[in-house]
Chains A and B, each alone.
Chain A
Amino acid sequence: MNELRPTLYVLGLFEAGLCVLAALGQAIAAGTPLYLAPGLGIAALFIVAAVSVPAGRRWGLVTLLVLDGVRISGFLLSATLGLLPWVQLPVTGATVADGLILPAIVVTLAARLLSATPIPVGAVRG
Chain B
Amino acid sequence: MNTWDTFVTGFDPDHLPAFWAGVLYALAVYLIWLLRRPAPRAPLPDRIAGHLLADSAAIHLALPIGHHDDATLTVLFLASGAVYGWLGWRAITGRRYRVASAILIVATLAAYLKVVGGGGEGADQVGIITALLELVALGICLTPARRAPVRQTFGAIAFVLTVVVSGGAIWATSLATHLATESEATVAAADDHGGARAGVAAGPAHDHGGTADGHQHSGSRAQAGVIMRPVENPEPTAAQQAAAVALADRTRASLARYTDIRSALAAGYRPGPERSGLRVHLENKAFQRDGRILDPDRPELLMYAIADGRATLLGAVFQMPRAGEPGPAPGGPLTQWHAHDVCLTLLPPGLTVVSAYGTCPLLSVSVTIGEMMHVWTIDHPGGPFNDDAPDSWIRAYNLAHGIRFAWG
Contact = CB atoms under 8 A, between A and B. Distances in A.
A85 interface: yes
Interface residues of B, number: 62
Contact of B357 (A13, A87, A94): A94
Query: By CB atoms of chain B within 10 A, which of A34, A89, A93, A96 has the most?
Result: A93
B132 A94 contact: yes
A4 B48 CA distance: 10
A97 B350 contact: no
Interface stretch (B110-118, B341-349, B387-395): B341-349
Interface stretch (B308-316, B359-367, B377-385): B359-367
Interface residues of A, number: 55
A16 B223 CA distance: 22
Query: By CB atoms of chain A within 10 A, which of B160, B163, B350 has the most?
Result: B160
Contact of A90 (B44, B140, B348, B368): B368
A78 interface: yes
A90 B360 CA distance: 11
Contact of A29 (B6, B352, B370): B352
B75 interface: no
Contacts of B91: none
Given A3-B45, A67-B362, A90 B227 contact: yes
Given A14-B135, A90-B223, A98 B359 contact: yes
B223 A10 contact: no
A87 B367 contact: yes
B356 interface: yes
A39 interface: yes
B219 interface: no
Interface in B101-138: 125-126, 128-129, 132, 135-136
B330 interface: no
A28 B45 CA distance: 36
B208 to A, nearest CB: 16
B156 A87 contact: no
Contacts, number: 201
Query: By CB atoms of chain B within 10 A, which of A4, A14, A23 has the most?
Result: A14
B355 interface: yes
Contacts of B362: 19, 22, 39, 42, 67, 70-71, 74
B156 A38 contact: no
B154 interface: no
A119 interface: no
A17 B163 contact: yes
Contacts of A117: none
Contacts of A16: 160, 163
Contacts of B358: 92-99
Given A10-B139, A20-B160, A92-B10, A81 B354 contact: no
Contacts of B324: 88
Contact of B348 (A7, A28, A38, A93): A38
B350 A18 contact: no
A103 to B, nearest CB: 10
Contact of B223 (A7, A11, A92): A92
B129 A13 contact: no
Interface stretch (B164-172, B238-246, B262-270, B400-408): B164-172
Nearest to B142: A10
Contact of A86 (B126, B140, B323, B350): B323
Contact of A17 (B45, B167, B367): B167
5 contacts: A11-B136, A25-B343, A29-B352, A70-B363, A82-B323
Interface of A: 3-4, 6-7, 9-11, 13-14, 16-26, 28-30, 34-35, 38-39, 42-43, 47, 51, 67, 70-71, 74, 77-78, 81-82, 84-99
